Structure 1
Amino acid sequence: MKNYKLIETKYIDEVTSNVSVYEHINTGAKVLTLENHDNNKAFGIGFRTPPEKGNGVCHIVEHCVLSGSKKYRTKEPFMDLIKSSLQTFLNAMTFPDKTIYPVSSRNKKDFYNLMDVYLDAVFYPMIHEEEKIFLQEGWHYELENKDDELKYNGVVYNEMKGVYSSSENIVADGITFALHENSSYGVDSGGDPKLIPSLSYEEFKNYHKKYYHPSNSYIYLYGDLNMEEALDYIHENYLKDFERQEIDSKVILNDELKETKDVEITFSASKEEMKGNVDYLAQGWTIGYQDNKMDVFMRDFLSELLIDAQAAPLKKKIFELGLAEDVYAETSSSLPLDLSIVLKNTDADKKDEFVKVLRETLEDLVKNGIDRDFLQATLNKFEFIFREGGGTQKAIIYYIRALNSWLYDSSPLDSLFYNDVIEEIKSKIDDGFVEKYIEEKILNNNYSVVLSARPELDKNEKQDEELRVELQNKKENMTDEEIEEIIRKTKELDEYQSNEDSDEAKATIPSLEIEDIDEKVTHYDMEEDEIEGIKLIKTPRDTNGIVYTTISTEISHVEKSDLEKVQTLVALLGLIDTENYSYEELNNEIYKATGGIGFYPTIYVDSNDNDKFSIRLNIKMKSTSDNVARGLEIIREITENSKFDSKKRISELLFILKSRYESTILQSGHQVIASIVKSYYSKTSDLQSHLGGIDYYNFLKELTEDFENKFDGIKSEMEKIYHELFHRDDLIISLTGDIDEINNLKPEYEKYINSLKSEKYERVNYDFKPNNKNEGIYTTSNVVYVSKGYDLSKLGLDYKGDIVVLQNILNSSYLHNEIRAKGGAYGAGVSVGRNLEMATYSYRDPNLTNTLKVYDEIGEYIRNLKISDEELKNFIIGSLNAFDPLLSPAQVGDINLSRYITGLKEEDLEKSKKEALATSIDGLKSYADIFDKAMNENYFAALGSEKIIKDSQKIFKEVKSLK
């Protein structure tokens, strides 16, 4: 490789790759390659991008560079690739000090196309010639008519309004900004919505010019690539055209705090939320920096050991004293290694008690030592994490992990292998290494912040009103010419967004040909076997020595009114005492022997008949083969001997569960609102809502609000259900791993099967009546999540593979353009399952009624669809991963089990794939009437901003608070 200088090379077991580090000779671009046998090829390019202000410039540049470039002339090549590529990952991410652009694909030609588009995007973006890209993705004034209110709009602006609506995000930022004031980490790289409108177009362009240069780049290649060929391609097509520059992208650090800093902040809360203890308390420390490998590992290890694990001593003490309903760790993704313990739903007046408890508990651990079983169990948990790699997207995760040291001028290899660190800790564990580390890095560390956060009634609404008045005053002080200029720019931006790319521009986007596509789907070997009349599903995969076990039992005998209790019960299993172990001891036994044991109610729908389904309880365990027997013993202990008599412990767990559900609802509002709409019209989605959706959250909320009075009743009901869940009737065991090891383990599974009682339970006939509740559910968010949908099978439609192509067209063209590009939402889409349950969704959306209007006009859009044969081909190709997604070894086992239960066969998927490949314009247009009918059924809901929802409350049947 004549254009690159080899810095170091090594085979690393943890990533099963030959790892090499290079420097590009002309430019100084840094290069990392991971060469292996994985056919999922990955590329990434990243830049060190320290924020200079909180105006979001790093984040906005990340969005904008993917909106057209020198070679690729469409408005949004990123979306064109989403439409037309076989990509298995395609995204860009802004971190506190870096911006990265990773892609992956299993198809070599597609991989090179993706890599080229991304390289052209970052080095030669169209942003320097087209301001409207900045206006759309960043921020702009919006004014359509002279008498309208002046507003701000923009994708990043609205995204960050959503982020700043979350009290957890506000608390996390509060800790970080206090620890790192006057540094690169003292401002938000994502952008503070109050500061984003201060960013000028010129400052935005200059930021790109400064930092997006090969001399400041970190290039990554992964997979079964010819690395020399790939690196030559990058040199010949891009790097050779640049000269080395000295770029000052150094991260600025603040002086370390000499004494603990006290910080008080507020967050917005509604009238309903002000009624309870919704305060936060936190203490955070900077315990080191990314250039110390032991500190890197120990920061994450301590967050688990002290706070997040079920037997974590700090968590245990907090709950013992009743200081909070939830407690969790926060860690940074930056040069300083921050570790924080956060109390949620607490009383901020207990700050002194909280700090005292932390210190006394840690002092006791240092003095008397940490339980050795607990230490060993936690270390084993981390070993499993590294043994598993990064799961489905390991190619991308390895890139991010490497940057943890690479970005700060240390070797990227330091972040890719940890066995040496784990072995060092193991060798010192009995000498008090962990206790001494806690003493040095936490107890004797004044580089610390204590934060309290209190709710402020309708803070978001007050700020929105202040902004409205500010913009009103601004408008009143504008000349007629200035107002006309904003109206003109608003109109021009709308025209820019509405106009189709020219045929010439479209032709610049690289694409595959239909001949490049295999009509087959990936074949996954599966062997059927039996033990004692029980079906055994075996999936041979290379799992790095892990055996994945799923024990699946039919539980469709449970009454609908008891489904929430089932979910509550299984959420407690493994976390409460049993006859032979306290919950702390049980935690240790689980993680000394396994990588985890979990219990998951799952609904499987028959692939040929949507009205046929089964509710099953899946017990999932991952372990090495030599520990399978012990793992099965622990499962028996949990399923036979769990005790439900500790009111205090169960109360703690349920309050944590409620808190985590609330966080999920706010972080994944688009998924939540789509599931709510589907529960209005679908029996299985309604059941799923009781097993973990919004109905379960409401059950949990009511239970925790009156737990003292309800405990005896719920305990009795759970105990009855518990004794009816674990049996041999219709039992299926699924095993994934080395086939010889699996076969050798059959006697252990036989022993487990023989321990189960043989009971027959009558299946319940679940009643369901569709009901378009049309709810508006408000939270403290500044944005909304909006969904509308219906069951297309009820309108006479049969599933056909071309509907996946239609879904791609709607998501990447119509909904993206109308709701994201024009409307300013962070995202939008529609999902249609094989069972034809359809739901639209929007994400961090500033609009409600207009979004519903866009949904209502889907049918009309389909009816008038105008795309060329070339565009149709690209949409078809971009849809095909739906039939053949990228899967981790564990997921392959899950897929084989699911296909066995539902009756879905490989040939069914291939039939659908062929139907997708044969998609025609006329076939797509035939769906127009179905979508019209579906929208006319009028099943919709919205979640989010109280103001936005109440401003449109006439359209809802019920408006209510989430809490």
Structure 2
Amino acid sequence: MIFEVGQSYNGFKLVEEKEIKEINSIGRVFQHDKSGARLLYIQNDDDNKVFSITFRTPPTDSTGLPHILEHAVLCGSRKFPAKDPFVELAKGSLNTFLNAMTFSDKTMYPIASRNNKDFINLMDVYLDAVFYPNIYKKPEILMQEGWHYEVETPEDEIIYKGVVYNEMKGAFSSPEQVLFRKMQESLFPDTTYQYDSGGDPEIIPELTQDKFEEFHKKLYHPSNSYIYLYGNGDILEHLKFINEQYLKDFDKIEVDSQISLQAPYQEPKTSVVEYSISANEKEENKTFLSMNFVVGKSTNPELHMAFDILTYLLLETPAAPLKKALLEADLGKDVFGSYDHSIYQPVVSVIVKNSNQEKKDKFKDVVRNTLQQLVDKGIDKKLIEAAINIHEFRLREADYGRYPKGLIYCMKSMESWLYDENPMIHLGYENTLQKIKTALTTNYFEELIEESLLNNQHQSLLIVKPKKGLAQEKEEEVKKKLRDYKAKLSKEELLKLVEGTSALKSYQEEANDPQDLERIPLLALEDIDKEAEKLPLIEKSEADIPVLLHSMFTNEIVYMNLLFDASVVPQQLIPYASLLSFVLGKVSTEKYNYEDLSNEINIYTGGVDFRVEAYSLKDDDGEYFPKLMVRSSALVKQIPKLFELLGELLGNTRYNEAKRLKEIIRETKSRLEMNIMQDGHIVAARRVTSYFSPIGYYKELCTGIDFYEFIAGLEEDLDNRLEEIQDNLAKVAKILFNKSNMMVSLTIEEKDYDKFKTSFDSLLKELGDEKLDKQSYKFKLTAKNEGLLTSSKVQYVAKAYNFNELGYRYTGHLQVAKTIISLNYLWNKVRVSGGAYGAMAGFSRNGNLYFTSYRDPNLDKTLKVYDDAYSYLDAFSANDREMTKYIIGTISKMDAPLTPSMKGQEATARYISKISQEDSQRERDEVLNTKPEDINNLAKLIKDVMSQNYLCVLGNEGRLKASKDIFESLVDIFK
């Protein structure tokens, strides 16, 4: 169909139409005639359709109002009055993405689906949620999702409780999160960015129901909305639906939600904030130093992309000159950068971790002097070429993993659209890229550094320093505040709070009206493909080395994974295999120093990275296959160069660069610390699995707390252990990188296979060919049942065991049970009633089963919820509609769309684990045919697993010590 600018289509006037060649799309900007809503439609042939509605929501305080409202509007609405339509959709739709997100100045509600009927259903629920939420009828929604006073009897102490309250307590437990949240505050004291839209736990309890409703009334109007559609859907059908079902009922109004600009500073500011560490941690070398610069506006596409590239060039690549200078100045043990372009005035930050406050002046001097030297002497043109090339490769590849690329484009469009500029300026990037490429022959980046960094007074120095016991101190302040509050209450006021707590619990425990649930649209089982997807895999062999070819369209890109059997590594050296994956590509080789090596990789490839992985036999966690995986990508025409670089990396890396190894080990320790604090649920689940599972133990040695303790031990005595480290890395590399030990996974079009074949020998000549013996690992498996002590204000509670060991076997019914347990039982008991941010379950083919919680205020209560899960399954009942919902939700996760590289990786994983197409089809058939009695029959499995009592909790040291009888031991994670 041909559209005409100026014409109206189902209530929407077409304002602009533009071809966006870079993303193979047509972009159309519409304005809704009656309501004033803006709409961007990105039309192309992608069947993974995306819808989002975004509102400009600048906060006026740090109560977290935008964030809490984001949660709350999805708790029932006019057409869909069930208490949690969001969870009902997660249980029973074919969504490929379903979430909501709060940013510093906007709130976004995106969904995605490949099924058109499902897509319309999801759109319907989300539009009704944002325009007609139940928050006006149900004050319990704010209490549950935001905060409330919890007191069950007049004799009890009053506590604060709420999902977002506990989520943000968890966020503020991470020093990195404190750092990033305080950056904006240090730079924008006069604008909305001085406030935390997510919410500061100390301020969240100031939010009232009146302010809550007022914010929604003012800002959740179509006139303040930005609607986005993407993919191969029917434009007219979608416009008609949105108009007739929603927008026609609203009149255009003026909404005051403008984002004002911060006046530039006349001189830099300094801010100091504290974060909590445990009582047994040292305060030395625990400070963060951050220099932060406000650079232009996000509506300038050239500046936007230029700083993306410049930040990477200065701070992220191994050849980064500013990072190198800061490390050589011994200012800290880790250096990284950030470029936040999600706000109107983007911020570039230079961050040193594991430093000390007294180094702040030297830090500023090194940053300024290094930048000045780069301006005066010029930046290495190869480094510039490398940074631009890797950025361009990623733009053209458009591989965003499990985030739909349509959603990424939505986020990019908002970086200009929200501030009243054209939404497509960041999508059509070719002209901008060409301007920046002039940096290869001019002083483009040098002038940018001088103008936007060196001569820029709008900057801050942010110091985030540790304080022992600060979390406990804050907790005591909260307890005292609540005790004082209770003491001032009259008997009637206290009883009113008790009644409010009781009313909330009744609301939470009350079952949804079946008629309300039936209003939420649902597909039929007939809408689901009965066949399991067959991933492409052709077995080949080159020079007696197995090659798994995954032939598919890849847009002239080759994805190649080299998998080396790591079971040849002696048991005592297993952690060194993992350390090797952090070292490769970051030290020099015989031909290249590490800076030149980094440049070569970025100029000629889409990246090379390394990781240790382990695949278990499909039904046995005791038989597993450890691998060191070398993942790489490049344009097909660069295959010869890719092989040359891989050969250099694997055969000629120099492990004797003492200074560089120190830097890498310190950085590795730093990044592991970040992961422990940010992903505590994964850390705890992985740790508890290592108590009983051979593959779990192996993974813990390579990626878990055991690996962190190994790295921390090396870092503590680096000078004395350097020779040992160098020798062991060289020894492990010599053992691993061997032709007899290797498999190739290749994702490429079959017509290009010969290009791989003809260059393969150039790699092989760099590898050893000795006969290698597989090792027999003997791990001491025991129920350690540890409490992992940190300064976190919340807990991550995990319990697990292997059901094969108890005589059970895997079935597809378990995946449906996972959906039911995670999104019904754990959601209601741990999140809704318990106040945790989340809880989830995992069921593996190899028998490993776990429950884990995320940012959880509880401990004992959560463990009891896990132990009682069997009784929920035993009593479970569902009608045909409910059962269909759970099956569809399960299939949705199984059918998540995969990029070409992901398809190759998944096909390889199944091949190694010996999962046949018949196994996949059997699992799908079992899922599709699951009946309520199949779920009932799993109750004993869950009971027997939980009764083994294997548990691990990571969390607040005071809280864990108070429950010390639960644990075999309490362990200080950080020293």
Q: TM-score, normalised by structure 1?
A: 0.99
TM superposition shift of 1:256 = 1.3
Structure 2 SS opposite 1:414: coil
Letter in 2 for 1:377: A
Percentage identity across aligned positions?
38
Q: Is the 8 A contact 2:187 2:458 kept in 1?
A: yes
Mapped pair 1:655 → 2:663:
no
Structure 2 SS opposite 1:757: coil
Which of 697, 701, 706 is the matching residue for 2:708? 697
* Residue segments in structure 1 that go unaligned for 5+ positions in a row: none
TM superposition shift of 1:558 = 1.1
Mapped pair 1:383 → 2:387:
no
Cross-structure match for 2:167: 159
Q: Is the 8 A contact 1:521 1:883 kept in 2?
A: no
2-side partners of 1:411 and 1:194: how far apart?
A: 38
Alignment of 1:256-405 (within 5 A): 256-332=264-340, 333-389=342-398, 390-393=400-403, 394-405=405-416
Cross-structure match for 1:939: 950
Mapped pair 1:587 → 2:588:
no
* Residue segments in structure 2 that go unaligned for 5+ positions in a row: 1-8
Q: Is the 8 A contact 2:734 2:768 kept in 1?
A: no
Letter in 1 for 2:397: E
Mapped pair 1:34 → 2:42:
yes
Cross-structure match for 2:565: 554
Mapped pair 1:957 → 2:968:
yes
1-side partners of 2:27 and 2:570: how far apart?
A: 55
TM superposition shift of 1:48 = 0.6
Which of 831, 835, 838 is the matching residue for 1:827? 838
2-side partners of 1:866 and 1:615: how far apart?
A: 41
Mapped pair 1:13 → 2:16:
no
Cα deviation, 1:46-103, whole Å, max 9, x if unaligned, reads: 1011011111110010000000000001100000111111111100000000000001
Mapped pair 1:570 → 2:606:
no
1-side partners of 2:465 and 2:705: how far apart?
A: 26
2-side partners of 1:883 and 1:364: how far apart?
A: 53
Letter in 2 for 1:421: T
Letter in 1 for 2:42: L
Cα deviation, 1:343-384, whole Å, max 9, x if unaligned, reads: 110011011111111111111000000001111001111011
Which of 412, 430, 438 is the matching residue for 1:419? 430
Q: Is the 8 A contact 2:568 2:736 kept in 1?
A: no
Deviates more, 1:150-159 or 1:31-40: 31-40
Deviates more, 1:367-376 or 1:298-307: 298-307
Cross-structure match for 2:72: 64
Letter in 2 for 1:660: R
TM superposition shift of 1:488 = 0.5
Cross-structure match for 2:499: 488
TM superposition shift of 1:275 = 4.3
Cα deviation, 1:143-189, whole Å, max 9, x if unaligned, reads: 00111110110000110111111111112222210100121100000
Q: Is the 8 A contact 2:283 2:468 kept in 1?
A: no
Cα deviation, 1:624-655, whole Å, max 9, x if unaligned, reads: 01111111111111111111112111011111
2-side partners of 1:765 and 1:328: how far apart?
A: 40
Mapped pair 1:771 → 2:782:
yes
2-side partners of 1:650 and 1:129: how far apart?
A: 61
Cross-structure match for 1:528: 539
Which of 910, 913, 931 is the matching residue for 1:899? 910
TM superposition shift of 1:266 = 1.4
2-side partners of 1:86 and 1:292: how far apart?
A: 38
Q: Is the 8 A contact 1:529 1:535 kept in 2?
A: yes
Q: Is the 8 A contact 2:584 2:610 kept in 1?
A: yes
Cross-structure match for 2:6: none
Letter in 2 for 1:812: L
Cross-structure match for 2:150: 142
Cross-structure match for 2:826: 815
TM superposition shift of 1:263 = 1.4
Cα deviation, 1:904-937, whole Å, max 9, x if unaligned, reads: 1222112111111111111111111111111111
Change (3 A) 1:273 1:609: closer
Structure 1 SS opposite 2:379: coil
Which of 108, 113, 123 is the matching residue for 1:100? 108
Cross-structure match for 2:224: 216
Structure 1 SS opposite 2:568: coil
Cross-structure match for 2:60: 52
1-side partners of 2:310 and 2:169: how far apart?
A: 32
Alignment of 1:225-236 (within 5 A): 225-236=233-244
Cα deviation, 1:109-159, whole Å, max 9, x if unaligned, reads: 111111100010001111111111111001000000111110110000110
Letter in 1 for 2:206: S
Q: Is the 8 A contact 1:556 1:616 kept in 2?
A: yes
Cross-structure match for 1:919: 930
Structure 2 SS opposite 1:288: coil
Cross-structure match for 2:454: 443
Cross-structure match for 1:74: 82
1-side partners of 2:223 and 2:893: how far apart?
A: 38
Aligned length: 963
Cross-structure match for 2:717: 706
Cα deviation, 1:308-346, whole Å, max 9, x if unaligned, reads: 111111110011111110111122221111001011100
Which of 596, 599, 604 is the matching residue for 2:607? 596
TM superposition shift of 1:755 = 4.5
Cα deviation, 1:786-830, whole Å, max 9, x if unaligned, reads: 000110111111111011111111111110001100110000011
Letter in 2 for 1:283: M
Q: Is the 8 A contact 1:29 1:216 kept in 2?
A: yes
Cα deviation, 1:415-439, whole Å, max 9, x if unaligned, reads: 1122222211112432211101100
TM superposition shift of 1:541 = 2.7
1-side partners of 2:800 and 2:225: how far apart?
A: 44
2-side partners of 1:653 and 1:755: how far apart?
A: 25
Structure 2 SS opposite 1:206: helix
Alignment of 1:727-738 (within 5 A): 727-738=738-749
Letter in 1 for 2:198: G
Cross-structure match for 2:185: 177
TM superposition shift of 1:759 = 2.2
2-side partners of 1:807 and 1:130: how far apart?
A: 30
Q: Is the 8 A contact 1:540 1:739 kept in 2?
A: yes
Structure 1 SS opposite 2:954: strand
Q: Is the 8 A contact 1:804 1:882 kept in 2?
A: no
Cross-structure match for 2:768: 757
Deviates more, 1:31-40 or 1:378-387: 31-40
Mapped pair 1:186 → 2:197:
no
TM superposition shift of 1:392 = 3.3
Cross-structure match for 2:3: none
2-side partners of 1:528 and 1:45: how far apart?
A: 46
Letter in 2 for 1:223: G
Which of 501, 507, 522 is the matching residue for 2:518? 507
CA RMSD of aligned residues (A): 1.3
TM superposition shift of 1:608 = 4.5
Structure 2 SS opposite 1:415: coil
Mapped pair 1:717 → 2:728:
yes
Which of 855, 872, 875 is the matching residue for 1:844? 855
1-side partners of 2:957 and 2:307: how far apart?
A: 39
2-side partners of 1:116 and 1:26: how far apart?
A: 19
Deviates more, 1:794-803 or 1:9-18: 9-18
1-side partners of 2:748 and 2:673: how far apart?
A: 36
Deviates more, 1:387-396 or 1:60-69: 387-396
Mapped pair 1:201 → 2:209:
yes
Q: Is the 8 A contact 2:665 2:715 kept in 1?
A: yes
Change (3 A) 1:611 1:955: closer
